[in-house]
Amino acid sequence: MNIAELAIKYKIVTAAFTILFAVAGIGAYQQLSRLEDPEFTIKEAVVYARYPGASPKEVEEEVTDPLETAIQQLGQIKNIRSRSEFGFSQINVEIKDNYDKDTLPQVWTELRNKVNDAQGQLPPNTTTLVYDDFGDVYGLYFAVTGPDFTDAELKDYVDFLKRELLLVQDVAKISLYGTQQEVVYIEISNAKLTQLGLPLSSIYNLLEKQNLLEPAGKVEVGNEYIRIAPTGGFPNVEAIGNLLISDASNQPSSSSADKTTPIIRLRDVANIYRGYEEPYNNKLYFDNKPAIGVGISTVSGGNVVTMGQAVEKRIEELEPFRPIGIEFGEISIQARSVNAAVQGFIVNLAEAVLIVVGVLLLTMGLRSGIIIGFILVLIVLATFVLMNLYGIALQRISLGALIIALGMLVDNAIVIVEGCIINQKKNLSILDSLKQIVGQTTFPLLGATVIAILAFSGIGLSDDSTGEFAGSLFWVILFSLFLSWIFAITTTPLICYYFLRIKPDKDNKDPYDNFFLNTYKRFLAFVLNNRLSATLILIATLTLSVWGMQFIPQSFFPDSTRPQFYLDYWLPQGTHIQTTEADLKQITDHVLTLPTVVNTSTFIGKGGLRFILTFSPEDANTAYGQVLVTVNEYDDIAKTIPLIKNYINQNYPEAQPIFNRFVLGPGGDAKIQARFSGPDPTILRQLSRQTQDIFYANNNATNIRDDWRQPVKVIHPQISEQRTIAAGLTQQEISQAIQTQFSGLEVGTYRDGNKLLPIISRRPPEEGSDAEQIQNTQVYSSAANATIPLQQLATAFTTDWEDPIIRRRDRRLTIIPQCDSAQGPASTLLSQVKPLVESIPLPPGYMLEWGGEFEDSADAQAQLFAPIPTIAAIMFLTLICIFNALRTPLIIFLTVPFAIVGVSIGLVSTQQPFNFMALIGFLSLSGMLIKNAIVLIDQINLERAQGLPPYQAVVQASVSRVRPVTLAAVTTILGMIPLLADVFFAAMAVTIMAGLAFATLLTLIVVPLLYTLFFRIKPSHTKQ
């Protein structure tokens, strides 16, 4: 009793499971999580270290190097990148690909331990922080504006909103951008201090001690033990001015005049007020209105659509608490884009299903088409069940995988239905017809299905970010194809048993006797009678196609169709952040006048929060700003960017504007990057300049720069150690005096409820803060009980140049000159500049590596191809098990290269790039061709086993398999049509459609030809 007979005998069980899968599939579809693009883990953490007062070189040598040395001891490290700046170090730690989101927390714990262990090797005043939420994505990102409100009032409302929204379902974390740090300024007059002879250090000590919280103990009262809490501190900012800084009791004189010295309070010598930190760290403008950005991330495994709806509902409930004048602006609302994207994907899937079912109805008749169409829908619903069970969301890749699989999903059912019809026409009963076709094809179809699944397994076994991003493609293919085999040998026979009864042909007419098949039979006979010529023509065709592959554009991942782009605005390094702000406000004013622009979000001093997974925010830099521009439609981007670029080039000649579109998939930054590593920063800069000169010489290169930026000026007061010692001063006292004169010195903390405000001491504006005043900076000497001008302590004041940013990679100094392609794929530009850059002579100890898209693509392909030998071996063994032969698997494998013929023609003619998804399409194409070849050769063996002469068996089997093989190819090809409009899948769709179309035609010729050659079957000249 075979499987078909069992399915029919236990029809209630079969029907029950069929209905169960259908109903469960509908329910699973409703429950599936929804995303626009699949998630992938950013396997990176950041170690921050602060070393106040140190130069970039000192930070690199004294902080970055010891930390990198400790971190590199971890065996999980893939690479380490560091950035050393004035008083600050940032180390990006990337983990090897084989660690996932479940194992990374343990890695981060070990990383923290290594950083803590290295703390003893760092300078005493160095602080460190390990930040492992680097990859958080804020799917809901909006701006809160209130032109009539102060920054503090706006922040109070945002804090209230944050407390409330953290309680909403699926909300994991809320981060803010653009908040202005409130501070208390104490502007102390240097003239008054000099007149009164008051040292700043004594004032600072009083400020620090007055606002400290100290326990006052407890007292026993009867049976109670009551805490004592004395009042004190500063109840408000004005109270700071009441601080007593001098009275008669602390004056060092015994004369009567001294005893009448008045009491001096801080307000007598200082202007005290509440304000905002100057200069600020970062700022946000929404449509050129000051704003605070609010980013909300979803819990792991949560539904961003559900979270977005819940947050919007809660904001509506909190509407009575929103002050009039405060408004919300949308920066990025992923819940809506996900809804729209998933809806579009579902429409594409529905269109593909209708196309496939329509083809089946036209080619196989009404009843056969309905049966196979029902099985197809059942497979899709059952796949939803498994996707829900394994936590695979509805997103671009998973739904695209279903569309790709549609044609293959009906292959097995087509073979069963076709066999059932043919057997009944041969006068077999419906039950015997089903038993025979299912018995003959169960294991060959299983083997063919396994091989088709294995063809996609390269992406499923790839553990890098690209594999993780596209990994759901493999799992959905696995689920759906395996289910297609199960339903083909169970549900399909049951339905056919009741709804596909065909009357036998009374005149025993040959079912394959028609014009189309007779034409194919004559052509096949002609090929087999001219095997040498046919073989040479096929080899020449394949060779020509391989040669034509060089004309196909190359890329990694395509741009997103998101109706947004962003401008990275760079001024010369060292530019004051207020200059950057002023430029960007003027630029944004112009951008908002363009008819295609909906809104703008302007980030100053730092990139915005990560609101989509493929976006990497820029590090903090006063010379940097970013404008996120939302346009009406995606196509408006191409019109809008040149208008903004021309405006900036005409009005801001010192600026470097870099325009970026969002990409689909991993990657980012400049497309072309040349990494030079070596010991000497000067030589590295020379190599960078030479490389950039090569880039500039190419008219297609744009956005040319390097990541060390320009050198900046630094003022060096040459302090005399002898004079300093004579004055009884220390280096710290001198540095603090200079900082007080210009930037301001933090001297304490003011507590205001749950807020902690730094107290900043600085000079009044009227006493000057320009560079010329540095010589007149007064430094108080307690030994001399007087202030001493800095010019008396310094021998000279010099201005030098220094590297503001020192970057390293894997503990080697590394500089990256980089650029993008103005037009066309970056691979074309790279092929032009790469030989020229590699011809630059490198001194001993220096090396060049290529990063950017070249490295990302190479790494992804390496991960994809790494398991290919194993996969090919498993495929070959599977074929050996199916056929119990060696020559047959060789024949099947030799058909695969002919897929190149169609791929080359398709991609060259459409000028679609051979990107990562096209590569996956090509690998999957091999599985489809092998599956077709298995079905064909299995039929040849079957015909021979039934007694037909070898040559007749080859021809008869080839003719009998034309319809199922062609029909499977046609359904796959036409089912791909909806994907042609999707920029992410377009290249893959063209690859599969063109490759399968040509390869199917060639397979029906190549397989019989190779079979006769390998098995030495000579053509029979009798009339066939």
Model pLDDT for residues 633-689, shown as the tens digit of each residue: 988 999 999 999 999 999 999 999 999 888 876 666 788 999 999 999 999 999 999
pLDDT beyond 70 at 1021 = no
Domain annotation for the chain: domains and CATH numbers: 1-31+365-503 (1.20.1640.10), 43-134 (3.30.70.1430), 520-551+885-1023 (1.20.1640.10), 561-659 (3.30.70.1430)
pLDDT beyond 60 at 251 = no
pLDDT > 70 in the chain, percent: 96
CB neighbours of residue 463 within 10 Å: 17
Per-residue confidence (pLDDT) for residue 233, from 0 to 100: 72
Q: What is the mean pLDDT of residues 474-500?
A: 91
78 φ, ψ (degrees, to nearest 5) = -95, -50
Per-residue confidence (pLDDT) for residue 358, from 0 to 100: 84
Q: What is the dihedral of CA 837, 702, 706, 713, to 10 degrees?
A: 130
Return the closest-CA partner of residue 1008 out of 957, 974, 943, 966. 957
With bands split at pLDDT 50, 70 and 90, how would you rate the model's confidence at 215?
A: confident
With bands split at pLDDT 50, 70 and 90, how would you rate the model's confidence at 293?
A: very high
pLDDT tens digits, 879-891: 888 888 889 889 9
* Three-state secondary-structure class, residue 228: coil
CB neighbours of residue 566 within 10 Å: 21
Return the closest-CA partner of residue 673 out of 840, 814, 567. 814
pLDDT tens digits, 734-784: 888 888 888 888 888 888 888 888 999 988 887 767 777 888 888 888 777
216 φ, ψ (degrees, to nearest 5) = -110, 5
Per-residue confidence (pLDDT) for residue 253, from 0 to 100: 41
Mean pLDDT across the chain: 86
Return the closest-CA partner of residue 735 out of 78, 17, 87, 29. 87
Contact, 791 vs 783, CB < 8 A? no
Tokens of 919: 């590569």
Beta bridge partners, 79, equal: 94
742 φ, ψ (degrees, to nearest 5) = -115, -70
pLDDT beyond 80 at 558 = no
Amino acid in position 658 = I
Return the H-helix or E-strand segment holding 900. helix 899-910
Per-residue confidence (pLDDT) for residue 505, from 0 to 100: 65
Amino acid in position 191 = A
Q: Higher confidence at residue 947 or residue 175?
A: 175
pLDDT tens digits, 511-555: 667 778 888 888 888 988 888 898 899 899 889 988 988 888 777
Q: In whole angstroms, what is the distance from residue 197 CA to residue 193 CA?
A: 6
Q: What is the mean pLDDT of residues 830-844?
A: 94
* C-alpha distance from residue 194 to each of 44, 774, 778, 900 (Å): 53, 17, 9, 86
Q: In whole angstroms, what is the distance from residue 502 CA to residue 360 CA?
A: 18
Q: In whole angstroms, what is the distance from residue 758 CA to residue 407 CA?
A: 66
The rounded Cα 128 to chain-centroid distance in angstroms is 27
Per-residue confidence (pLDDT) for residue 511, from 0 to 100: 65
Per-residue confidence (pLDDT) for residue 648, from 0 to 100: 95
Q: Mention every residue, 6+ apart, whose C-beta is less than 8 A from residue 697.
A: none
Q: In whole angstroms, what is the distance from residue 462 CA to residue 901 CA?
A: 27
Q: In whole angstroms, what is the distance from residue 853 CA to residue 830 CA?
A: 10
Q: What is the CA radius of gyration of the chain?
A: 37
Q: In whole angstroms, what is the distance from residue 652 CA to residue 625 CA?
A: 14
pLDDT tens digits, 88-97: 999 999 998 8
pLDDT beyond 90 at 692 = yes
* C-alpha distance from residue 545 to each of 207, 323, 985 (Å): 80, 68, 23
Q: In whole angstroms, what is the distance from residue 683 CA to residue 383 CA?
A: 58
Parallel, antiparallel, or unpaired: how do β-strands 127-131 and 140-145 relate?
unpaired
pLDDT tens digits, 800-817: 999 999 999 999 999 999
Q: What is the mean pLDDT of residues 15-27?
A: 93
pLDDT beyond 90 at 624 = yes
Beta bridge partners, 226, equal: 219
Tokens of 204: 């600072």
**Among all chains, which residue has been given the structure tokens 């056929």?**
883
* Three-state secondary-structure class, residue 942: helix
pLDDT beyond 70 at 503 = yes
Return the closest-CA partner of residue 966 out of 930, 1009, 1000, 990. 1000
pLDDT beyond 90 at 972 = no
pLDDT beyond 70 at 607 = yes
Per-residue confidence (pLDDT) for residue 1, from 0 to 100: 62
pLDDT beyond 50 at 593 = yes
Q: Within 13 Å, how many C-alpha atoms sit on residue 921's CB side? A: 34
Per-residue confidence (pLDDT) for residue 262, from 0 to 100: 67
Per-residue confidence (pLDDT) for residue 255, from 0 to 100: 43
757 φ, ψ (degrees, to nearest 5) = -105, 125
Parallel, antiparallel, or unpaired: how do β-strands 817-821 and 701-706 relate?
antiparallel
